[in-house]
């Protein structure tokens, strides 16, 4: 069971198309692809052994936190607006 999951192919394709079509309008388009995240929905119905295994697959040996994802999306909307057409993987280094 790998942690690194690609976003839906349609989302990545749409990101690239819109990244090429929208820059003249001051709009950038990127995809954020989060890994396993410590939320109630993630833990629901999973035995502790499964969550421990998923956590151990990351070199950082921890799950993502929603706050970390919001920081990256805020960066992309602000100072990081020069990024365009990228898929940003937020998976704690899991491959």
Mark out the alpha helices in the chain (DSSP H runs). 9-21, 40-43, 48-56, 66-77
47 found inside a domain: yes
Task: Decide if pLDDT at 1 tops 70.
Answer: no
Stretch 12-40: mean pLDDT: 90
14 found inside a domain: yes
pLDDT digits (tens, 9 = 90+) for 4-20: 456 678 888 999 999 99
pLDDT digits (tens, 9 = 90+) for 39-84: 999 999 999 999 999 999 888 888 988 888 888 888 888 887 788 9
Measured on CA atoms in the order 40, 4, 71, 60, is the torsion positive or negative? positive
**Domain span at residue 52?**
9-90
CATH number (domain holding residue 32): 3.40.50.720
60 found inside a domain: yes
4 found inside a domain: no
| Total structural domains within the chain | 1
**Cα–Cα dist 20/42, whole Å:** 35
- Please tell me the predicted confidence (pLDDT) of residue 45: 95
41 found inside a domain: yes
């Amino acid at each position: 069971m790998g942690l690194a999951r690609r976003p839906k192919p349609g989302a990545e394709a749409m990101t690239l198309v819109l990244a090429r079509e929208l820059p003249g309008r001051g709009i950038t388009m990127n995809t954020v692809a989060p890994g396993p995240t410590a939320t109630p929905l993630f833990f629901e119905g999973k035995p502790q052994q499964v969550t421990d295994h998923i956590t151990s697959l990351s070199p950082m040996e921890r799950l993502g936190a929603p706050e970390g994802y919001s920081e990256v999306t805020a960066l992309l909307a602000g100072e990081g607006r020069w990024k365009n057409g990228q898929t940003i993987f937020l998976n704690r280094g899991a491959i």
